[in-house]
Structure 1
């Protein structure tokens, strides 16, 4: 997710913070401007029902220098929580399906967001975040949009886009389906991603269940 993190932090080049009340220490160079995201994650009950297991929970603080009249420091925390499910493939249990929940601070000052991913479509975001879906297979390539539908997630109706791509899994080229939604919630930008081999298409509704269950903020 390095490209995306650099992208949203680099947005500080256009920050109009110098005239914003409450940022005096930042403007004077005394302190960095800090943004903190709250973690988003599926409910534990949904993980148990769908048989997904925790793979990794990462909290990362990124520091970058930006120009706001003069050079200043911006510090932001992001969360990435990922979960996997083993399935039978070629007579063996394999880590085949992956669900990832990402939260990024909205970087909003005086009612204005300076986060460049704020206006990205799901397809554009997928290009940024697809590397987070690597599981036991290789990079997902040749992505093609299939359809859009809606789900009720965190008390709102969210657009979910379905993409079809190719990846390498256990030494073979296979089709993989990805489901993705992104939206603003409680000051953060949330990105929810699910990935599974197309031959296991019945896993799609399971990804939907995980999306519908997410909590924000989740327990850390």
Structure 2
């Protein structure tokens, strides 16, 4: 479950091919500032950081018959929590990921599709390209206070496989712009576990200082 969703999230955050505003021959470079969960929220929820890295994506686009290169660097943090899951027993089933990607615009034109995608489109794109979660269905929207504002969080249901067992899961996703970056947070956990309070604490504990 973890590798599927994480790799697809990174792969989706690429530069679009129709960037008609690139007027020079130089490589355009954009890098986000890391977004992470603060230590206090981790201690309160029992989640631990398991991934802290960056991913650089390059895309060549053709403008006025000439090729240009755009380079975008994203920052990724992932957190996990072990929990008891029926007959499976103690497993690492709680996943929380936060990714920051630069808004990346030139002359008012966005080069990063994540800046304009809705929560529903983003989670469905992830699900359609990942083996991590299937049968994704929208359930509801709610709001959580994080990074100085009230943010919309979309909740979806789906299924995944944990230790060979098919498990019903809930997916919480928030995507919003903050200080020049797009911040995307995704939580996935078994539906039978009451985890929404911990997810809210993780979201409220996000830190990010943009460019």
Tell me, yes or no, whether TM beats 0.5: yes
Over the aligned positions, Cα root-mean-square deviation in angstroms equals 2.3
Query: For the residues of structure 1 that align with 2:20 and 2:73, how far apart are their CA atoms?
Result: 18
Query: Cα distance 1:140–1:84, how it changes in 2: closer, same or farther (>3 A)?
Result: same
4+ residue runs over 3 A deviation = 1-10, 128-132
Gaps of 5+ in 2: 1-5
Report the equivalent of 1:71. 67
* Matching of residue 194 in structure 1 with residue 187 in structure 2: yes
Select which of 22, 30, 38 maps to 1:17. 22
Report the equivalent of 2:135. 142
The count of corresponding residues between Structure 1 and Structure 2 is 203
Select which of 143, 146, 152 maps to 1:153. 146
Contact kept? 1:15, 1:114, Cα under 8 Å:
no
Residue aligned with 1:13, SS: coil
Query: Cα distance 1:53–1:6, how it changes in 2: closer, same or farther (>3 A)?
Result: closer
Query: For the residues of structure 2 that align with 1:97 and 1:204, how far apart are their CA atoms?
Result: 11
Select which of 42, 46, 51 maps to 1:47. 42
| TM-score, with structure 1 as normaliser | 0.84
Higher strand share: 2
Residue aligned with 2:33, SS: coil
Query: For the residues of structure 2 that align with 1:15 and 1:216, how far apart are their CA atoms?
Result: 31
Report the equivalent of 1:94. 91
Deviates more, 1:1-10 or 1:91-100: 1-10
Query: For the residues of structure 1 that align with 2:70 and 2:151, how far apart are their CA atoms?
Result: 30
Query: Cα distance 1:72–1:3, how it changes in 2: closer, same or farther (>3 A)?
Result: farther
Report the equivalent of 1:60. 55
Query: For the residues of structure 2 that align with 1:183 and 1:38, how far apart are their CA atoms?
Result: 14
Structure showing greater radius of gyration is 1
| TM-score, with structure 2 as normaliser | 0.87
Contact kept? 2:82, 2:93, Cα under 8 Å:
yes
1:25-56, Cα deviation, whole Å (9 max, x unpaired):
xx1x2x31101111111111111111101111
Report the equivalent of 1:21. none
* Matching of residue 210 in structure 1 with residue 202 in structure 2: yes
Contact kept? 1:166, 1:175, Cα under 8 Å:
yes
Deviates more, 1:8-17 or 1:104-113: 8-17
